[in-house]
Amino acid sequence: MRGLFSNGMRTRALALAMVLAVWFVAAFGRLVHLQILKHGRLKAEVLEQSQDDMEVLPKRGTIYDRNGKILARSLPAQSVFFSPLKSESATGQMEQVIRLKDLLGLSEKDLSRIRTRLQKKDTFIWIKRKIDPEAAGRVMALNIKGIFLQWENKRTYPLGTLAAHVLGGVGIDDNGLAGVELQYDRLLEGEKGRRLILRDARRRSYQFETLKEAVPGKDLYLTIDETVQYIAETELEKAIAACGADWGTVIISDPKTGEVLAIANRPVYDPNDYPPAVPGEGVNRAIQHTFEPGSTFKIVTAAAARELGKVGLGETYDCREGSISVGGSPVRDHKRQGILSFPEVFIESSNVGAIKIAQEIGERNLFQMIKAFRFGERTGIDLPGEEYGICRPLSSWRKSSLRIAIGYEISVTAVQLLGAMNVFAARGRLVRPSISLGTGVGGRSGAVNQEPLKVLSEGTASELVEIFMRVVEEGTGLPARLEGFEIAAKTGTAQKLDEELGRYSSARHLASFVGFVPAHDPVISMIVVLDEPKGLMQYGGQLAAPVFRDISARVLRYLRVAPRPKTETLVTAKMAKAIRP
């Protein structure tokens, strides 16, 4: 019996030892399998479940006006993200998100995007970026599993729509999309950082570990003056409301330096809600819209006549018939004129007289002057999307192309036309327009200055300034007169081409006015463009000239430019006339 009992004990011990050995071998094999064969994959899974590596966007640089007033800045804002639990079904995960639909105003497009990310088993999903503090507090109060908040920076424009087309706008990741935000994006954006997001096994809490610090962007100072910008926008708004124009633009600059003090456009948008909801609102018509300028372009014809054609100031032109044939088509004056001297052709804005002057100086000289003013080229203003305009080569001119002398068969932008007028204010030099003063306190650091181009002799520029002054004192620009100030300017009214009929319409016009003040020592230059005004008055002298006057009066007062002492003046009957081109 004792022997049998001993044999049984040995058998059981041996069986247990074998079981333990098999278990040990299995466990060892499993460890080898996990620790060696699958180590890389399992480690990746653990890291995937416990941490995320994400990009950190730097704080974007602040944009100031020339006097240090803030036009655009970035402020802290919280964003909502979702880190789903793998144990939950996709349906359960989506139910958690839908609880935020009304609170965060999630659209069906937003929900579709989130659903797609969940199906791809993403571990970090943005729900709503850059929400207001009140909404952030209500999100956290719901205590939804997997929903977290993270601090970011939100671009804000404290002055709303003011200077919208200059500033432009940014995307959700603070990348510049238009205006100076796009032009100087690399300077403003800074350098991105990286952050490690650490979470517990159940993803109940998060910790952030910085791998690389983000470097804030540089601040940028603009040539824009916030007060001048406000004046331009309010006066343009009033003008468009009064005349019913489809759109309008005003540019104000320092004609000696080319620094742009204001660019106003209507229609306008709010850069805080970029991109604009209405198509076309985001177009900067000052630089991105081309048009046939009409009589304002006669400043180039006058320059060609005096600088290249050597037409005398005392020469006269018979304009009594009121029309002239160009390439088989009639060109008419807005009213029948008499025999006009060279200056009077431009003072009264006679189309007939301008065509006769162009015939006298010749196509080649006229074309040479047009190219000297750099029409058909970008001005180089530091804003994105500038148009070239259209200036056909001399070899492709037709018999009717001499109408270019009165601003037809050429396409320009408002900034090109203002730049041309600035040549007379700058004593014959063509100065590149600019928007940026540079970086650093007050700007000027990193600003790019180009040597002005010589277009006219000082003598020619001075002679023509005197003529353009008479445009306002006694000619078509009379409504722009400003007590105590001498203004040099030119009016413009262009009939618009009817694409369907293939001819110019007598009912659709583009009204413009370009000039500078004070005439002999200019402080500001300005162009006003109003497209397709409605009603009886549709001409540049009637509509755009008063806008120039009203803006100039307010801006000069703001800049503390004193008027000349009052002298006895003769108010002529012309003030009562229907001033046209």
Instruction: Determine contact, residues 496/509, Cβ cutoff 8 Å.
Output: yes
What sign for the dihedral angle of Cα 163, 166, 172, 175?
negative
Beta bridge partners of 221: 64, 438
Which one from 74, 295, 350, 411 is the annotated catalytic residue?
295
Distance between CA atoms of residues 578 and 304, nearest Å: 30
- Are the beta carbons of 426 and 277 closer than 8 angstroms? no
- Strand, helix or coil for residue 194: strand
With b meaning 16 or more CB within 10 Å and e meaning fewer, what string describes 532-546?
bbeeebbbbbbbbbb
- Cβ within 8 Å of residue 206, ≥6 positions away: 83, 148, 197, 198, 199
> What Rg value do the Cα atoms of the chain yield, rounded?
35
Beta-carbon-side half-sphere exposure of residue 427 (alpha carbons within 13 Å): 6
Q: Is 203:148 a contact under the CB 8 Å cutoff?
A: no
Separation between Cα atoms, residue 185 and residue 170, nearest integer Å: 9
Backbone angles phi, psi at 559, to 5 degrees: -80, 0
99 by DSSP, 3-state: which? coil
Residue labelled with tokens 């801006």: 555
Strand partners, 323: 332
Pairing of strands 220-222, 63-64: parallel
Strands (E) in 269-343, as ranges, are 316-318, 323-326, 329-332, 339-341
Tokens of 128: 């709503």
Query: Would you call the peptide bond into 267 cis, given omega within 30 degrees of 0 as the criterion?
Result: yes
Q: What is the 3-state secondary structure (H, E, C) of 159-171?
A: CCCCCHHHHCEEC
525 given a catalytic annotation: no
Residue partners of 321: CB distance under 8 A and separation at least 6: 336, 352
Three-state DSSP class for residue 177: strand
Q: Residue 390 is inside which H or E element, if any?
A: none
Sequence-distant (6+) residues with CB within 8 A of 516 are 255, 421, 422, 424, 425, 487, 488, 489, 522, 524, 525, 526
Burial label, 350 (beta-carbon count in 10 A; 0-12, 13-18, 19+): buried
Cα separation, 184 vs 422, in Å, equals 26
Q: Which helix (H) or strand (E) holds 111?
A: helix 108-119
Which single residue is written with the structure tokens 């618009």?
A: 496
Q: Are 226 and 65 in contact (CB under 8 A)?
A: yes
Q: Cite the active site residues.
A: 295
